[in-house]
Homo-oligomer: A and B are copies of this chain.
Amino acid sequence: MHNLLLKNVRPLGGATTDMLVRDGVIVEIGSIAEQQGVAVEDGGNAIVWPGLIDAHTHLDKTNWGMAWHENNREAVLRSRIDYERENRIAIGLDPHRQSMRHAIGLAANGASHIRSHVDIDTTHGLTLVEGVLETREKLAGIIDIELVAFPQSGVMVMPGTVELLDEALANGCTVLGGIDPCGIDRDPKGQLDVLFQLALKHGVDVDIHLHEAGELGAFTMELIFERVRANGMQGRFGISHAFALGMNDYLRVGKLIEEIAELDIAILTTGAPSATVPSVKRLREAGVRVGAGCDGIRDTWGPWGQPDMMDRARIIGMKNAVRSDIDLRHMLELVSQGGADVMRLDGYGVAVGDKADFTLLAGETVAHAVVETTPRPAVIKAGRVIARNGTCIVDMP
């Protein structure tokens, strides 16, 4: 925990002021003189915004920094899952080294927190989790990492996976994942019953991947709603992707969103440009907690993406037909406060008493900052400057 006097910054795009941090907490905002033993950083009139949050990514998957991975395989979910599981070690996807690269990239671009799904399967057991846990430890004070025990290859379809998820939740994973109970697992009742049982046993939240589109995804959502209600899991369930909410049926989607809001289920979006994605505006209007994430970046699944939540804000904004300054601000809130709402972070913000996790943003206004592609002037974690102009104080391995 560090002390810092941040001079000449504009909190949330407001008037220029100074901020004083002691022991990693904001203690004063106003015109503040330099003080003994307190490092000074001049913000150069930049906007100061709470640390960005990647609330849906896969730290164990990227081939960032490795030789280019040629990919002319078919674009079928199941075959991509199998290819990755069978080849990841052989092609050099060391889970610790690659997660370090990915997480350092996110920190360099302004993120303070990550929720990472990490593959758990009967081929690798918990070794991928162990690699990411090592990264979490090494990057303590740089960026916070939350691990989701993620059965990428399926649960019921891969006997032995349930036991591994159980073990992972006792060893470092604090959220339980899941994946397409119909599309991938072919047994929606089976997978969902297991997930709720494990979540209740360990007292953890659930965050399930739901790529299932249209009526299939809506069906799975209904099964989820029934179980959230029956098990008293209101406020503790998240649905990632939720492509079914992008289907072209206004009333049907409205009913689903109504239940999502009532059960306080969180939605996590990546704004996948080629998919049917939930309308972030409609979810916001319904009072749903919505976070956002980069998802996989440059991995065996696909070549796109940057370890940069501002880049993601742009992708989500363009996909959601955002044009106005008001809506641009909403995109920035999505990749910051939205993620904090989903992850239930304490002391998140830029008010006195909040934790000193910030990023500076270049831009005349908040809207301008969202479309601007220049690096973040500086990133501060727990009161310490951990990155400047896109370069983190920790080198990528």
On A, residues with C-beta under 8 Å from B are: 67-68, 70-73, 75, 248, 273-274, 298, 301-304, 306, 314-315, 317-321, 323-326, 328, 363-365, 367-368, 370-371, 373
Contact = CB atoms under 8 A, between A and B. Distances in A.
A323 B75 contact: yes
Nearest to A324: B72
A68 B321 contact: no
14 contacts: A67-B364, A68-B368, A71-B323, A71-B324, A72-B324, A72-B325, A75-B321, A75-B324, A273-B273, A274-B318, A302-B323, A303-B371, A304-B318, A315-B318
B317 A365 contact: no
Nearest to A302: B323
A373 B301 CA distance: 19
A302 B327 CA distance: 11
A91 to B, nearest CB: 15
B367 A306 contact: no
A67 to B, nearest CB: 7
Given A364-B68, A365-B70, A273 B319 contact: yes
Nearest to A328: B303
A66 to B, nearest CB: 10
A222 B367 CA distance: 41
Contacts of A319: 273-274
Given A72-B325, A364-B67, A371 B298 contact: yes
Given A71-B323, A72-B326, A75-B324, 18 more contacts: A67-B364, A68-B364, A71-B324, A71-B325, A71-B367, A72-B324, A75-B321, A75-B323, A248-B248, A273-B318, A274-B319, A301-B323, A303-B323, A303-B328, A303-B368, A304-B371, A306-B373, A315-B318
A68 B368 CA distance: 7
A314 B373 CA distance: 15
Task: Please give the count of copies of this chain that the complex contains.
Answer: 2
A281 to B, nearest CB: 12
5 tightest CB-CB pairs across the interface, nearest first? A274-B321, A273-B318, A302-B323, A68-B368, A68-B364
Contacts of A363: 68
Contacts of A328: 303
A321 to B, nearest CB: 4
Contacts of A75: 321, 323-324
A298 to B, nearest CB: 7
Contacts of A364: 67-68
A83 to B, nearest CB: 12
Nearest to A319: B273
A325 B324 CA distance: 35
A302 B370 CA distance: 13
A10 B28 CA distance: 57
A303 B323 CA distance: 6
Contacts of A320: 274
A323 B304 CA distance: 8
A363 B325 CA distance: 35
A24 to B, nearest CB: 33
A67 B368 CA distance: 10
A299 to B, nearest CB: 11
A306 B372 CA distance: 9
Contacts of A315: 273, 318
A363 B326 CA distance: 37
A70 B325 contact: yes
Nearest to A74: B324
Contacts of A321: 75, 274
